[in-house]
Chains A and B, each alone.
Chain A
Amino acid sequence: MKFSLLYRTPESAERTEVFDLAYDLSLDRAVRKTVSDQRRADYLLGVLSRPLTDRADIEYRQQLMRDFIENDGLLDELKTIFSRYDRVRSDWQQMRSGAYPQSGSVNRRALLEYTFASLKVTAMFPKTITSFFASFAEIIGKYEIKSECLTSIRDFCRSMLESERLSELERVSALFRYKSPADFEFSAMAELDTALRLTTADLCEITEIDDKPQNPLAKLFSRKKTGDAAVFPIESDEATVDDALYIASESLRRIDAALTSVTGGIYDTFSGLSGEIVFYDAALEMIGFLSESGIDWSFPKLLDADEDRFSLKTLRTFSLVTENKTGADIVPSDIELTRESDGIIIRGRSNMGKTTLLRGIGIAHIMAQAGLPVTAAEAEISIRGALYSHFSSAEEDFRAGDTAGRFEGEVQQIARIVDGVENHPHALILLNETFQTTSYAEGAEGIWQILDAMPIVKAKYIFVTRMNKLFDIIDRERVEILEMADGFKPEHM
């Protein structure tokens, strides 16, 4: 069991793939503009680059986001406690490394000392972790939460606090939290191989041997001596002493390894949440910025992939915040892609907002599939199997600079996208001025060869272009054509 604030199940995380459109869509700059801290902005962008493709996964994040929006103070309290929790492992590792013997060569005497010291450190942590479970349950219990994620965390913590097994583990750990190996007699069951070599030694008894009062827990857990088997002393020599120390050390090492494994398994249930909560922290700041700037936002209505459409009312392109524009400065657009259309081709004169609109559509999909609100008053969005972009003007790394080389470079990029859509049904492809590095006639012919085949793999596209030749060869029954007119408003053609 492992909780995540970002992924509903481990499979949810495994299903995600990187589709990094942030640069093309200027989303990276917009996020950095609205999130005050570079590290948090980068984390948010990292999550945005892995869009979710399962409706339940997206709703999992949406619910959590709403809990944080509606419960002032919850996010800050969880940030603090998750951060403390995530430091436990590094503290643990640091303390264990401190237990390592300082002498240069490690003989078996030193090895036994080290193993016991390491076990003492390990033995502290079951109790520590239990105290965190109590804190998690207490904090979440104070708020009116509705999300599946936080409800599950609260309930899990409460059940662990009542677990007999966890208590038993704490009691066994307590046997090793005090003193040194010289204070104990260890009994270990040996497993031998067919050549009578020792393969494992497992502790079955630990008994204090000094005159001081016994650790009450050690006494409690010491097995009663049966007294019915004869005990044979073994004559001592150097090799035998070495083996005696090794057997004790090995039996303690295996307890240490087992406790480390189990404690680590319990610890892992909540590890890494201090990192994941950064996503919500940054997103809350971004939403706050939008509200202050008068830019409408809303959680989109998610549609199944098969509905294959989107509708965005009063969409304002989020990336325009980088130009210090407020809601009042940004011309909103209503735009829709119907199930029946293969895609949208946007044309128009320079500086009429073609690329801005393309970016707005792309960002809305990225935000929606990250579980975040979109910058539209109303939105309905089908979940896309993948998101791709090719922005010709944004590409500056063609190798040669000659026309043939640049065109082939573009073709290579489109080929990678086509490889992707072949394996991801219901992809959305955003293309900006693609194939304009060759003659427009050739470019139009070339791009149509590709766009025309996209419905076969259920991919849709939004294509901004100035190649007028394209409009002579496309099938207008299947493609929506938008002309960006004066006033930055798209008009159907």
Chain B
Amino acid sequence: MAQSIFPDLLFTADRPENKISAETFDDLRLTALLPEHTLDDAGYLLGEEDIRARREVFSCLTDSGFRGRMQTLLSAAEELGETDALYGAARSDSERDVIYVTLASRLLAFYKAAAALSGSGELLSRFNSFFTAQTGMSWFDRTSSALENVLPMVTGLLKNRVCFITKGESIRVKDSPKSTYLQTIAECAEGLGLPRPIPDVKQANPLSMNIISGVVKALPDEFAAFAAFRKEMGKFYDRAVLSYIGQLRFYLGFASAFDRVTAAGIPLIFPTISTEKKIDVRSAYDITLLAKDDMKIIPNDILFTADEPFFYLTGANGGGKTTYLRAVGTTAVMFALGCPVACESAEMSIPDGIYTHFPRDERFDENGRFMDDQNRVDAILAKADGSSIVLLNETYSTTTEDIAVNLTSSLASRLYSTGVFGLYITHQLGISQNQIPYLNVVVDHTDANRRTYKVERRRADSSSYARDILLKYRLTREQLGERFGEV
């Protein structure tokens, strides 16, 4: 078993070269939507074979039984990882002996959970076959049998078995379980109708080697059994198995995000993979809004073609420009990671790069911010080519208006000419009318300038918004009747 190579759950063969940066995940707020560590091991832009293979895993995850088994597997892997860290930090053979018992127990639990994870598709079949075979081997049975003897010894000695007697600076140890004053106080509390006191537990304190030796002397039979167990079974543990933690977190992290998506009534589909260069999506949703508990997400269509690959995006504040940009970004990223996408229908070609440029926090002074903007733009220009997607959000907004207008026009033209797919949100109404088309967020002037959060093709609208005060505060008789549920 020790020589085995664990079959990967994320890739059919070697890992691809191109990655999506952590910055892009942050800009798109996917990190806010997804549980922590979901993207630790997954930010690669996949080829068609891997996309199709992962889709099979995601399809299995719609089955609650399968998902429960994968969750069990992840828990087992994480527990194994925690014990592995302790094992690595052990200072003596006595410590290693006792920790290895738990480690072996968790290793077997992981293998059993892995063997129970049957599912369709190349990645899962390969994985399941491997672990099913392993759990049928003799090493597995021998380790299981040995654990039945030593594991209860470990759990028995850890909790209130060892008594330390301190007198000034001296210490003795004995094997003698007893009741404690804390228990007496807790019983009093209960009798008085108060909650049982639970003193906080401090960080685990490593004990001196002399004390560990004392504990070993007090419990000689147990420690002899632990040493014998590690000597015989220690060779069966391969740390490479821990790579599954990141792989499982990827699938389950996205699955939990998909729960929120479907609970909000948003469809999830696998886009058709197009050989022609295009992104054609009907009713795409910015699902990252769910991280803010916004359940009323307005969908929008996305269309990028070789003829019209790049757009400016303009319009009123609060109208949904950034939301649209994120809808485009999350759609592209999820497609490229092999995930289902939140939309009605989609046909997409596979990108070889996805880049974002969002305003940064106030980390720099004005000049520093401009340089930071420019450096990040340069990095994108160096990497992006005709198969990339570039999403720019108010790039150059930190410099003076005339400079910003020139730089914006220049950057947009350059990207347009490379044929990348992309969007550029800008407030610079002075940018020259050239071949780059505009998208604009729609405001309904006939309905108190209501933001529709819809995006459509047209020139930016710079008109002001008149307001009717009572209407604005929803205080007309009709509005109140509606608000109060008048029959």
Contact = CB atoms under 8 A, between A and B. Distances in A.
Interface string A248-269: 1010011101110110011000
Given A191-B159, A262-B192, A456-B486, A243 B207 contact: yes
Nearest to A244: B171
Given A169-B188, A411-B473, A261 B86 contact: no
B197 A258 contact: yes
B164 interface: yes
Given A204-B179, A233-B172, A408-B469, A456 B167 contact: no
B171 A243 contact: yes
B177 A189 contact: yes
Main secondary structure, interface of B, reads mixed
Interface stretch (A12-20, A145-153, A234-242, A483-491): A234-242
Contacts of A48: none
Interface stretch (A223-231, A307-315, A359-367, A385-393): A223-231
Nearest to A256: B199
A197 B476 CA distance: 69
B163 interface: yes
B180 A257 contact: no
A1 to B, nearest CB: 6
Interface stretch (A62-70, A179-187, A283-291): A179-187
A236 B170 contact: yes
Interface in B470-487: 470, 473-477, 480-481, 483-486
A163 interface: yes
A235 B212 CA distance: 11
A457 interface: yes
Contacts of B197: 257-259, 261-262
Contacts of A328: none
A192 interface: yes
Interface in A393-416: 407-408, 411-412, 414-415
A242 B162 CA distance: 18
**Taking each of A188, A232, A237, A446, which has the highest tally of chain B beta carbons within 10 Å of its own beta carbon?**
A232
B210 interface: yes
A172 B481 CA distance: 66
A189 B162 CA distance: 6
A200 interface: yes
Interface residues of B, number: 81
B464 interface: no
A235 B209 CA distance: 10
Interface stretch (A135-143, A332-340, A447-455, A464-472): A447-455
Interface stretch (B214-222, B257-265, B327-335, B358-366): B214-222
B204 A193 contact: yes
Nearest to B485: A456
A173 to B, nearest CB: 9
A234 B173 CA distance: 7
Contacts of A169: 185, 188, 192
B169 A241 contact: yes
Contact of B102 (A194, A266, A418): A194
Nearest to A457: B484
Contacts of B212: 196
B448 interface: no
A200 B203 CA distance: 9
Given A232-B217, A456-B481, A196 B95 contact: yes
13 contacts: A165-B191, A191-B159, A195-B204, A196-B94, A196-B215, A199-B202, A201-B164, A206-B181, A232-B174, A244-B169, A247-B164, A247-B171, A261-B197
